[in-house]
Amino acid sequence: MSYAPVLHAEWLKIRTLRSLLGALAALFAATTAFSALAGVSETSDPDFDPLFTALSGVAPGQIAAISFGAMAVSSEFHGGALRLSLAAVPRRGRWYAAKLTAIAVPTLVVGQITALAALLVARAGLGDAASGLTVGEQARGVVGCGLYLMLMALLAAGLTALLRSGVGALSLLIPFVLVVSFVIGDAVGGATDFLPDRAGQVVLYESYDGRLGPWAGLGVTALWTAAVLVAGAWSVRRRDA
């Protein structure tokens, strides 16, 4: 079977699973709502960054993106679904690539729409506090936000394929992005700048003082994601369905 019908089949699976569509809806709703709240909050903090404030809803919103990636793959490990998929598509690498594409494209599209909506609603609340943002900075934030959310969804998908468990992947990733980076990371400093979430979120800031710039940070996140996806591919190719 060629790649196109395999991709179509994987897209149909996502369209027909309400939990996956719900995760994408939650991505939009959570990110936009939290960014709107941040937009009307106090801006007197000397470290206030208007671009990050406007896009700060991505912090809770990324949980939905991670869940989407994990659930899209974990559904294959229930009720013998993976055996049926591989019976239809014996070339496991082709199936895995189609699955990842079916995850990446909707996450990227929804992520871009979400980032733009979050920026607009937050800017309405920020008013003059966001007047210094240039068109280029805002465009970079919106595009970077969509790419970051896509990479986090793929990271979750690869980890789920490796562990063969969506629960296992979520149990590792969600505490990681909520606790390790934002609690331990600030205390440890230095090396935590290269963690996948902290590196990728540099693109959401107007100004940045660390060792990574916006696109370099996304590059680090992409390397983490690529490594996990390769490990997931190994698991899919070598382990029994």
pLDDT in tens, 94-128: 899 999 999 999 999 999 999 999 999 998 888 88
Q: pTM here?
A: 0.92
Task: Give whole-number Cα distances, 166 to 16, 67, 170, 193, 223, in Å.
Answer: 18, 8, 6, 27, 22
pLDDT in tens, 200-212: 999 999 888 778 8
Other beta carbons less than 10 A from residue 196's beta carbon: 24
Q: What is the pLDDT along the chain (241 residues), one digit of tens a residue?
A: 678 888 888 898 888 888 999 999 999 999 999 999 988 875 556 567 889 989 999 999 999 999 999 999 998 887 777 777 877 777 888 899 999 999 999 999 999 999 999 999 998 888 887 788 889 999 999 999 999 999 999 999 999 999 989 899 999 999 888 877 667 656 655 667 888 998 899 999 988 877 888 999 999 999 999 999 999 999 888 866 5
| Dist. CA 62–CA 197, nearest whole Å | 9
| Dist. CA 135–CA 162, nearest whole Å | 41
